[in-house]
């Protein structure tokens, strides 16, 4: 445990209450304690970072100058949740009646995204998106914008106001979609992506991703140029984010479009898009050789269970992704608007059902690991976010252990913290989060008159 350097005069801030965090992967470390749990913890923050964590009785005496402490009862303090795959540009179309993935894209998604050429529309959607995710305790997300510069600027501008650590970028797509969304040419689209990358990557907590939507909507030339852009900036922490192996119809389409490639993963690999900062959404119907590639390259995988169920494509198999001989980095994704809500805990309830449909079960320890530290690992940020420990960024969610009268009563019958969390993810309360801290500032407070506040106002 570190204490405050003498030279740092920035004020200390504390959060006190029951707390839980993960320190290792419970899919791989059977029998080992993968989490830390405190009945009465004190988390000490300074200048956006955690500087001390532990039992209140031990930690408090180390910080005699700490007087500003938020104390929570009937609550659980956790690292902020991490959403590894979401489309902020689809907030206005959640719950659209659908058919197959490809029909649903044509009917709802593409017309909605076309409206983001209008900056005011993009600004409004970004505002709504951040309020939704912050009210659900999500503090980092890996986010699709859409074709237009306006869609990227609107997103990062709002993220800057909250000082959230976010990953996003312009979506590259130059074929098999309406003209209103289509990039004018591979060269122009990738030049625009590079311009936005140079504008936003590393500005405050913002990070950029090169985002080919998915192989069927990108020409060979665009995929090749996207791969070159990614490789040019990968050492500076730029990401590649796309969809992979989601649904049978999609996989068949890719096979017809790229007949020379052995697998869907191979399509991305041949264009230089499969590497250590690549994040693949879905990965439901994956061949063994593809898992091996994703493992070997250190790719992140986003499990989006409510989308699996809503769009009825494929169903994620965590036991394949986490096979002990070649485990992959896996986190959770809401995949809004294919996913049906913004809550990572509710996704965990759906993850359990997706597994049970395939005669497997997944417990709350593994679920909440995926929601926090697992997500950070999928994004290669496991030394920065996703854990309550000194040196980590102070992104924190405070869960309500009495979100409804019934849930509070029901939890009275649960013995361990993981029994309680399993009940909570199963009941799926919509107001599960009391407060959300971003870089140490309480940007969401369910009990405050002004529930949401920008970082500069705090």
Chain residues in the site for Zn ion (CB under 5 A): 281, 335
Helical H runs in 392-437? 405-411, 417-427
For Zn ion, the closer of residues 56 and 116 by Cβ is 116
- Tell the smallest beta-carbon distance from residue 282 to Zn ion (Å): 7
- Tell the smallest beta-carbon distance from residue 284 to Zn ion (Å): 12
Tell me the C-alpha distance between 162 and 99, whole Å.
Answer: 36
- Tell the smallest beta-carbon distance from residue 444 to Zn ion (Å): 25
For Zn ion, the closer of residues 222 and 308 by Cβ is 308
55: which 2 tokens?
A: 């039992």
For Zn ion, the closer of residues 21 and 278 by Cβ is 278
- Tell the smallest beta-carbon distance from residue 87 to Zn ion (Å): 6
Q: What is the largest CA-CA distance in the chain?
A: 67
Q: Quick check: helix, strand or coil at residue 275?
A: coil
For Zn ion, the closer of residues 281 and 429 by Cβ is 281
For Zn ion, the closer of residues 335 and 365 by Cβ is 335
CB atoms inside a 10 Å sphere around CB 284: 24
- Tell the smallest beta-carbon distance from residue 264 to Zn ion (Å): 15
- Tell the smallest beta-carbon distance from residue 338 to Zn ion (Å): 6
- Tell the smallest beta-carbon distance from residue 305 to Zn ion (Å): 13
For Zn ion, the closer of residues 77 and 167 by Cβ is 167
Tell me the C-alpha distance between 347 and 305, whole Å.
Answer: 6
Tell me the C-alpha distance between 279 and 296, whole Å.
Answer: 14
Q: Are 357 and 8 within 8 A, CB to CB?
A: no
- Tell the smallest beta-carbon distance from residue 123 to Zn ion (Å): 22
For Zn ion, the closer of residues 146 and 164 by Cβ is 146
- Tell the smallest beta-carbon distance from residue 281 to Zn ion (Å): 5
One DSSP character per residue, 105-133 reads: IIIIIHHHHHGGGSHHHHHHHHHHHHHHH
Distances (CA, A) of 311 to 103, 177, 349, 396: 10, 19, 17, 31
For Zn ion, the closer of residues 281 and 421 by Cβ is 281
- Tell the smallest beta-carbon distance from residue 148 to Zn ion (Å): 18
Tell me the C-alpha distance between 35 and 397, whole Å.
Answer: 16
Distances (CA, A) of 436 to 162, 230, 400: 11, 32, 11
For Zn ion, the closer of residues 133 and 281 by Cβ is 281
280: which 2 tokens?
A: 């693949």
Q: Which residue is nearest to Zn ion (CB)?
A: 335
For Zn ion, the closer of residues 126 and 336 by Cβ is 336
Q: Are 306 and 354 within 8 A, CB to CB?
A: no
242: which 2 tokens?
A: 């796309």
Q: Are 175 and 219 within 8 A, CB to CB?
A: yes
Alpha-carbon Rg for the chain, nearest whole angstrom, is: 21
Tokens 């979401």 sit at which residue?
Answer: 86
Tell me the C-alpha distance between 5 and 277, whole Å.
Answer: 33
- Tell the smallest beta-carbon distance from residue 307 to Zn ion (Å): 7
Specify the DSSP element, H or E, that contains 241.
Answer: strand 239-244
For Zn ion, the closer of residues 337 and 403 by Cβ is 337
Tell me the C-alpha distance between 93 and 431, whole Å.
Answer: 21
Report the candidate in 235, 316, 333, 222 with the shortest Cα–Cα distance to residue 275: 235
């Amino acid at each position: 445990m570190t204490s405050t350097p003498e030279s740092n005069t920035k004020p200390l801030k504390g959060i006190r209450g029951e707390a839980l965090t993960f320190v290792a992967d419970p899919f791989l470390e059977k029998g080992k304690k993968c989490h830390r749990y405190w009945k009465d913890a004190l988390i000490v923050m300074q200048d956006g970072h955690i500087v001390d964590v532990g039992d209140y009785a031990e930690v408090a005496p180390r910080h005699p100058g700490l007087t500003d402490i938020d104390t929570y009862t009937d609550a659980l303090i956790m690292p902020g949740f991490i959403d590894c795959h979401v489309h902020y540009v689809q907030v206005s179309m959640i719950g659209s009646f659908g058919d197959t993935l490809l029909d649903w894209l044509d009917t709802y998604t593409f017309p909605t995204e076309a409206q983001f050429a209008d900056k005011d529309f993009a600004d409004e959607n970004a505002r709504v998106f951040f309020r939704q995710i912050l009210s659900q305790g999500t503090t980092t997300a890996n986010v699709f914008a859409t074709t237009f510069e306006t869609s990227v600027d609107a997103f990062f501008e709002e993220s800057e106001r909250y000082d959230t650590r976010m990953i996003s970028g312009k979506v590259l797509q130059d074929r098999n979609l309406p003209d209103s969304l289509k990039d004018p040419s591979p060269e122009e689209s990738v030049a625009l992506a590079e311009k936005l990358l140079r504008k936003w990557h590393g500005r405050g907590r913002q990070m950029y991703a090169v985002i080919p939507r998915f192989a069927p909507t990108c020409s060979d030339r665009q995929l090749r140029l996207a791969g070159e852009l990614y490789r040019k900036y990968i050492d500076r922490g730029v990401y590649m984010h796309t969809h992979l192996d989601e649904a049978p119809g999609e996989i068949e389409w890719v096979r017809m479009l790229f007949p020379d490639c052995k697998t869907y993963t191979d399509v991305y690999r041949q264009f230089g898009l499969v590497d250590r900062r690549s994040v693949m959404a879905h990965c439901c119907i994956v061949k063994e050789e593809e898992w091996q590639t994703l493992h070997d390259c250190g790719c992140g995988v986003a499990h989006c269970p409510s989308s699996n169920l809503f769009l009825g494509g494929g169903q994620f198999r965590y036991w394949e992704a986490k096979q002990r001989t070649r485990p992959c980095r896996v986190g959770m994704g809401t995949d809004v608007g294919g996913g049906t809500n913004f809550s990572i805990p509710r996704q965990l309830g759906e993850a359990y059902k997706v597994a049970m449909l395939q005669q497997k079960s997944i417990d709350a320890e593994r679920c909440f690991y995926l929601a926090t530290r697992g997500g950070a690992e999928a994004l290669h940020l496991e030394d920065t976010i996703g854990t309550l420990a000194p040196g980590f960024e102070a992104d924190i969610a405070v869960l309500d252990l009495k979100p409804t009268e019934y849930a509070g009563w029901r939890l009275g019958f649960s013995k361990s913290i993981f029994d309680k969390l399993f009940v909570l993810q199963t009941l799926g309360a919509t107001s599960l989060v009391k407060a959300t801290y971003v870089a140490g500032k309480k940007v969401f407070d369910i009990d405050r008159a002004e529930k949401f506040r920008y970082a500069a106002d705090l």
